[in-house]
Amino acid sequence: MDGLDRSIGFRVISSGGYIGTVEEVVYGAENSLSALVVRTRRTDRPFVLIGVEEVLDCFEHAGSIILSPSWRSSAVAMLDGERLVA
């Protein structure tokens, strides 16, 4: 999807409203974009890892990403300071 690779700082929203801001993009096999690390407002899970398959649309001109309503079922909570290692 166009713009996801440049989405650091984009607002992330879903049908429930604002979720957070893209903190990092994660690449997987064959250097393809696989997930987004999103900084949330929650103190109990300040970051969530969301697979790109949950992205419905990316509006690069507006700096926003729309997620599917079911994004929570596959999201992974991350603590501050956790890093992904390939």
**In the chain, domain spans:** 4-78
Order the strands of the 64-67 sheet from edge to edge: 55-59, 64-67, 11-14, 17-27, 33-40, 47-51, 76-78
Which overall architecture, per CATH, does domain 4-78 show?
Roll (2.30)
How far, in Å, CA of 41 to CA of 36, rounded? 16
- Residue 39: CB atoms within 10 A of its CB come to 17
User: pLDDT digits over 26-80, tens only?
Assistant: 998 888 899 999 999 887 778 999 999 999 999 999 999 999 999 999 999 887 6
> Which residues have CB under 8 Å from 43's CB, separation 6+?
none
Query: How many Å apart are CA 77 and CA 45, to the nearest integer?
Result: 6
Q: What is the pTM of this model?
A: 0.87
Mean pLDDT over 8-36 rounds to 93
Q: From CA 38, how far away is CA 30, in angstroms rounded?
A: 23
